[in-house]
């Protein structure tokens, strides 16, 4: 575990490894200088003796990712690069934890799919559960982590001391079927109104780290420690990915739409009862995620449908 938390890398086959990667900056623009620097870096790395597969880091600012023309420029030049794969990280727009920009999300999917269709492995770093949709780009793996700092890419936090902020962090429970996270007092509200069982993780996910929250007692009296909350989050993410190993692109799109619509329905019930996830509540971004995956189906659907089983 580093200062910014620890990561888990989850592939589509359900494997989990510990890892940590720290890009030093995000591209403000995909221009000639950026391309030249990265080409030179790849050439140097490729000439160095190393038995491990070579992954090339691509770190993009939020403005860069919003620019479809630059994404296409990047994909064009990447076709001439020959690493084993790419480690890609995206700065979230406006420092958002859950992204509310459908264009940003759609371009992220387009870039990931474009790299995969060029025959390269793709590992996506600094992911929240919103990036479960990366499965629709058939990425090799996504990397998430324990603290918020390793679930979104905040470049400024590599240059400042945030120890005080870390000491003040709260414990959150991840409700996988709502795609949202909650502080324990809100679980108390759900408990008093008979809604808490609907927030328990599906047994199929195999997470037993939070079983005490659903034992019948008031959640704040039972408590949830930080390590258990983190392990539950990462275990659920691992299992949610494994359960979406679709046989076709169309099947994957349908499954993701169902997941988002099921979350919307549950969130509606919870909101009417005052059970809110605050800045980690997925209700505000359901439509943006749906818009992005439908745009992805329209722009990349034909290619993804044809090559799905080969990726």
CB atoms inside a 10 Å sphere around CB 142:
27
- Predicted confidence at residue 13, as pLDDT, reads 34
**How far is the C-alpha of 191 from the C-alpha of 279, rounded, in Å?**
21
pLDDT in tens, 22-46: 344 577 788 999 999 999 999 999 9
- Predicted confidence at residue 29, as pLDDT, reads 83
Residue for token pair 């808490």:
196
Average pLDDT, the chain: 88
**How far is the C-alpha of 157 from the C-alpha of 140, rounded, in Å?**
27
- Predicted confidence at residue 150, as pLDDT, reads 79
How large is the average pLDDT for residues 223-242?
93
Torsion of the alpha carbons at 44, 46, 49 and 55, rounded to the nearest 10: 110
- Predicted confidence at residue 164, as pLDDT, reads 45
């Amino acid at each position: 575990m580093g200062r910014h938390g620890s990561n888990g890398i989850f592939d589509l086959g359900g494997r989990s490894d510990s890892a940590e990667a720290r890009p030093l900056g995000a591209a403000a623009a995909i221009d000639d200088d950026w391309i030249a620097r990265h080409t030179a870096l790849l050439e140097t790395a490729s000439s160095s003796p190393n038995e491990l597969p070579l992954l090339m880091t691509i770190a993009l600012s939020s403005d860069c990712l919003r620019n479809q023309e630059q994404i296409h420029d990047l994909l064009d030049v990447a076709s001439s690069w020959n690493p084993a794969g790419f480690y890609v990280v995206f700065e979230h727009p406006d420092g958002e934890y859950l992204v509310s920009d459908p264009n940003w999300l759609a371009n992220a999917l387009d870039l990931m799919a474009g790299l995969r269709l060029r025959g390269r492995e793709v590992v996506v770093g600094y992911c929240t559960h919103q990036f479960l949709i990366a499965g629709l780009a058939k990425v090799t793996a996504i990397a998430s982590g324990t603290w918020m700092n390793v679930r979104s890419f905040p470049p400024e936090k590599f240059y400042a001391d945030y120890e005080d902020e870390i000491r003040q962090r709260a414990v959150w429970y991840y409700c996988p079927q709502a795609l949202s996270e909650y502080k324990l007092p809100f679980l108390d509200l759900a408990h008093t109104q008979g809604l808490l069982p609907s927030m328990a993780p599906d047994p199929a996910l195999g997470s037993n780290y939070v079983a005490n929250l659903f034992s019948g007692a008031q959640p704040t009296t039972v408590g949830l420690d930080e390590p258990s909350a983190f392990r539950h989050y990462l275990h659920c993410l691992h299992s949610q990915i494994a359960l979406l190993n679709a046989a076709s692109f169309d099947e994957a799109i349908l499954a993701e739409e169902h997941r988002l619509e099921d979350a919307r329905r549950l969130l509606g019930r919870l909101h009417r009862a005052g059970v809110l996830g605050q800045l980690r509540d997925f209700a505000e971004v359901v439509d943006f995620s749906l818009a992005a995956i439908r745009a992805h189906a329209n722009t990349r659907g034909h290619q993804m449908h044809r090559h799905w089983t080969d990726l």
